[in-house]
Amino acid sequence: MIKRTLYFGNPAYLSLRKEQLLIQLPEVVKNETLPETFKDDAVKTVPIEDIGVVILDNKQITITHGVIEKLLANNVALITCDSSRMPLGLMLPLSGNTTQTERFKHQLGASVPLKKQLWQQTVQAKIQNQAHLLHSATGEVVKNMQIWASDVKSGDPDNYEARAAVYYWANIFPQISGFSRNRDGIPPNNLLNYGYAILRAVVARSLVASGLLPTLGIHHRNKYNAYCLADDIMEPYRPFVDKVVVEIIESEEDYQELSKNIKMRLLNIPVLDVIINGQRSPLMIAASQTTASLAKCYKGEIRKIAYPNFE
């Protein structure tokens, strides 16, 4: 089942009614001149079990503890935004799988050679997806990237990931002079940051559902990063976010600021079509297949992570 992504960019009251998310508007609730029938019609409800991601992007949102409890109990990723309306925090459940302890044990016991092989697969999948998008979007020559992808060795000791990234970012936005990928850089870095935050939440949610620790990565090891594994596993998924950003720019929409329309397009990331295991699937479902395959790799049942591609 495809889970819904709910975005709240205006003041709202979020509470529970009959195990459903109850959404009310403060200006309606507080207005004593409005008839009760109008107020009742303004109330919206959403089944908690239908939700996958919730984004809170307004300082005047009131959410009850009961809502937070139910969201986490149903493995919903809860994202909060800062004053600049960019994702700042991510809340996930502590337990999302019935065999979590066993899976933690396998993950913690993963050997260095296994993690290097998993990172090799991850880098290869990422470069292949970058090459596909770069060629389809710009017509740029990508034979070099395809060679780099095939030459990646266990652990990527030659750092082909970085080599491919330099070439990819130098060419993916040919209409933007001097563009470089930098979190604080010129637009559309702002769009990429927002899209990657959504993607990270989707992947982290899937990791928890698969009984894995999002903190313990196979390559990323920053001691200040609580989502190292999510940052590892999302790498081959990034080009799907990049594709959305390319399409926004090509539509000639003003991308200097994150408008409501642009945000709505980026919020569709969880339902983007990808190909995984030879089948077309929404990105959120594909992420679950990827993390489930990773858990099996840790357990020794299989040796390859299932990653998506464009075709």
Are 179 and 186 contacting, i.e. CB atoms less than 8 angstroms apart? yes
Flag whether 247 is marked binding. Answer: no
Lookup: tokens for 100: 């979590």
Question: CA 104 to CA 86: how far, in whole Å?
Answer: 32
Flag whether 161 is marked binding. Answer: yes
Question: Which amino acid makes up residue 242?
Answer: D
Q: Which residue has the tokens 């600049």?
A: 84
Are 6 and 46 contacting, i.e. CB atoms less than 8 angstroms apart? yes
Buried b (16+ CB within 10 A) or exposed e, 243-267: bbbbebbeeeeebeebeeebbebbb
Are 160 and 149 contacting, i.e. CB atoms less than 8 angstroms apart? yes
Question: CA 24 to CA 44: how far, in whole Å?
Answer: 7
Cis peptide upstream of residue 239 (ω within 30 degrees of 0) = no
Nearest to 53 by CA among 281, 284, 210, 242: 284
Flag whether 250 is marked binding. Answer: no
**217 contact partners, CB below 8 Å, separation of at least 6:** 225, 228, 229, 231, 232
Are 290 and 297 contacting, i.e. CB atoms less than 8 angstroms apart? no
Annotated binding site: 161, 220, 235
Annotated binding site for Mn(2+): 161, 220, 235
